[in-house]
Every structure is written in structure tokens, then in C-alpha cells.
Amino acid sequence: MSPLPPQLISPLDNRYYKAVAPIGEHLSEAALNRARVKVEIEWLIFLTDRELFGASPLTAEQQTKLRAVVDAFDQEAIDALATIEATTRHDVKAVEYYVRDRLRALDLGAVEELTHFGCTSEDINNTSYALTIRDAVTEVWLPAAAALVEQISTLAREQREQPMLSLTHGQPATPTTLGKELAVVAHRLGRILRRIEQQEYLGKWAGATGNFAAHLVANPELDWEQAADEFTASLGLVWNPLTTQIESHDWQAELYSDIAHFNRVLHNFCTDVWLYIQRGIFKQIPQPGATGSSTMPHKINPIRFENAESNLELSCAILDSLAATLVTSRMQRDLSDSSSQRNIGVGFGHSLLALDNVRRGLGELAVNPDTLRRELDGNWEVLAEAIQTVIRAEIVAGRSHIEDPYAVLKELTRGHSVSRDELVAFVDGLEIGDAAKARLRELTPQSYTGRSAQLVDRLG
């Protein structure tokens, strides 16, 4: 058998690439290197602006040309970095040499020694990761997640009045509306998104072990803490003043835990939608040319939601592992975080793929009111709760002397199918006031939904 040509291993990089490509713009190896180049260049500009060691500030034109190195970062730059790293065997050192080469090419060699000045590799890496993760979240993942939440919210508003039989413990229970149940999901997901939107992205910038030791030896007069604070702020990050050699990654653990939480709520939703499809509450709209089964022509499988469940599980597995691993380090530094962080994009990618599948899946569904009506009409016994509650109120008001109304209704309905006529006859024979009887005679499973429709409006 002839060997295959070189293949990518992850399905995110081939089969599902189209759905997750936007994440690669931020969380790929190339994106990380581009961010590293950006941080190195911005630090050099920051130092020259302060005329450190007599260096002249770069002109506006020189700064523009230098920043253009980041904007023009392409496959040629990726290949050049790879060539340098083949010799250095150190990714960040390769970036430093790459920036030095660009300085010479732009005739800025006079400030070459300010490249990577006072930095340890982690100063560059932690800020670069913070930049790429921030942009991946705010520019790709959050908009996709927010669009899904809005899609669910819209469906909830459309179905706010549609009565539906509840199932608690898988058994018929007090009716609700389809819209209210969808609103519960949208509300839960929306709360998590608001927390993610408030996430801080921290940056460490303090040298070899977080103490500014080399900085102070080189220039004892400069307020290096203020400089670090200002520089990380200029990158759009929040400076973490107390670190070892590494930024402690607590903010990453918080972020990944929140996204995993979102994933799990969405996973629960996918399972429920799958069950709604099984019950016939949702009809699947046939897609032209699509095949449900290779042998059973009639089938339309809910593959979008099944695919989403799998990818949400994979995303959570990766994000949970990252959240656990990244907050630990031996003494002031070990490299356990380095390999782990290279998989951040994989965790986000599987979540993004799931979001895409759920959005597509919801777009291929239609509500089946016949099934909803049939389920409700077949379960009049769910009104037992209402009847026994009204009897209790009548007893308190002195209009009834029925003993243990719960037991009376339990005897009538538990384990039995009860028809409308049987319930009406039962109500007519009750010792309760006429107004209460009239309310109960008018009650149906379709109308016994309480404030379900109005609660949907809480979505805003």
C-alpha cells in the first residue's frame, strides 16, 4: 500500500476547517508568532519614546514602518522565523532575531540592542497569548455565541404562547410553553456571556523572576513598575504586579471555566432539542440532496445536535485540562504550561464548531403544534395539581371541609389516564365555592401554563 501524502491530523484543520477558520487567525502558531513580533516591536518603541540610555525617539514614519512589519506578517515571515528557529531551537529567541533583522533592513540598527531589553521569554509569551486569546474571544467566539443566544431568544419570543406538556423525571407534569423553556436556556447562556464579556486579560512584564532585577541594575532611576503598567496598558492588557517568572494564568483558568460552563449548558440544550425532535415537537426540514441514512431513505437524523454534543465535550475536556494545568508551576517556573497553551485554539475550535452546528440545526427545524396539542390532550391528569391547590384555598376560606385534598386527587389520578369529562364530573361533585368550580371547569391542559408566556418577556 502506498503511503498517503502528508496529512493534517485534527479534523479542525481539514473536514471542519471552514467553520473554525476565524479562530486560526488568532490562536494558531502563526498568529502567536505575529503577536510576539508585535510585542517586541511595541516594547522597543516604548523604550525609545522614553529615550532610554540616550536612544533617540523613533520618528512617526519610522514607527509606522516598524509596525508595518506586523501588518505584513505573511507566509514568507512564517518561513523566515522557522529558518531562524531551526538554528536557535528557541521560538522566542527566533522572534528576537527576526525583529533585529527587520530593524537592520529598515536602517534602524542603532536601537537594535533595545530589542527584547530586560525581557525573559515569558514576558513576550504571556502578553502575546493574552492578546491572541482576547482577540479570539472578542472578535470570533463571543460574536458567534451571542448570535446563537439571540437566535434562541428569537425562537423563544415566537413560541411564547405555544402550550407544551412538561416532563419532569420524564413523566407528564404541569404544562409550560415552548417559548418559556427556550427562554430559560437563552437566559442561562446570556448570563455566562455577560461574565465572559467582563473578563480581564492580564499581562506580566517584570523580567526573569518578576522582580525587575536586571532593569534596576541597568537604570536605577526609572520607575520600572510604572513603565510595566503603562506598557501592558498600551497593549490593552491589565498589568499583573505580583508574579514569578510566569504570569500565573489565573485569568485564563477563569475564562476557560466560564466557556466550559457555557459549553455544558449548550450541551444540555442540544440533548433536549434532540429529545424534542424524538417526541415530534420539532419537525426536521428536509435539506435538498441530503441523506439521513445510507440504507433507510426515510430518515432525517438530528446530526447537527449530535455533532455539537461531541464537540462541546471535546472542548470542555481541553479547556478543563488547561484550567487545571495552567494554575500550577514548580517554584518560580516550569514548562508544563508551554505545551498546554499550544492547544488553546483546539479548545476554542471545538466550541466554535459546536456553535455553528447548533445554529444550523435550529435553522432546519419547524415547530409541530399537532404533536404539542396531542400530548396535552392525552394528559388531563396534569390538572390534578391545580384542583388540589384550589381546594386547599377553599378550605382556608371556609368554603370546603374536604380532608387531605392532595390524597383525594392522588387517588383519582396517580397512575391513571383521566379524561376531560371525568375531571369535570369530579369538580362538579366537589364541596367548594361556585366561583372556584367555574374556574376549574374552564381549565384545560392548554390553558394551564401560568405566567409562562409573560416570563419570556424577562429576556428583554
Amino acid at 140: V
Residues 6+ apart with CB under 8 A from 318: 343, 346, 347, 350
- 169 has catalytic annotation: yes
Give SS3 for 115: coil
Beta pairing class for 282-284 and 365-367: antiparallel
CA distances (Å), origin 283, targets 160, 277, 300, 303, 446? 18, 6, 10, 14, 20
The residue annotated as part of the active site, out of 56, 234, 293, 447, is: 293
Helix (H) or strand (E) holding 163: strand 163-168
Rounded Cα gap, residues 345 and 319, in angstroms: 10
Backbone angles phi and psi of 144, in degrees to 5: -65, -45
- Please return the burial class of 81, using the count of CB atoms within 10 Å of its CB with bins 0-12, 13-18 and 19+: buried
The residue annotated as part of the active site, out of 169, 294, 298, 339, is: 169
What are the helix and strand counts (H, E) for the chain? 20, 6
- Any idea what DSSP says for residue 106? T
- Please return the burial class of 315, using the count of CB atoms within 10 Å of its CB with bins 0-12, 13-18 and 19+: buried
Q: How many CB atoms within 10 Å of residue 159?
A: 22
Rounded Cα gap, residues 282 and 370, in angstroms: 10
CA distances (Å), origin 173, targets 206, 279, 449? 60, 15, 11
Rounded Cα gap, residues 454 and 127, in angstroms: 47
- 340 has catalytic annotation: no
**How many residues would you count in the chain?**
460
H-helix segments, 242-302: 250-279
**Which residues are registered as beta bridge partners of 367?**
282
Question: What spatial distance separates the first Cα and last Cα of the chain, rounded to whole Å?
Answer: 61
The helix, strand and coil proportions of the chain, stated in percent and rounded to the nearest 5, come to 65, 5, 30
Rounded Cα gap, residues 47 and 65, in angstroms: 17
Active site residues: 169, 293
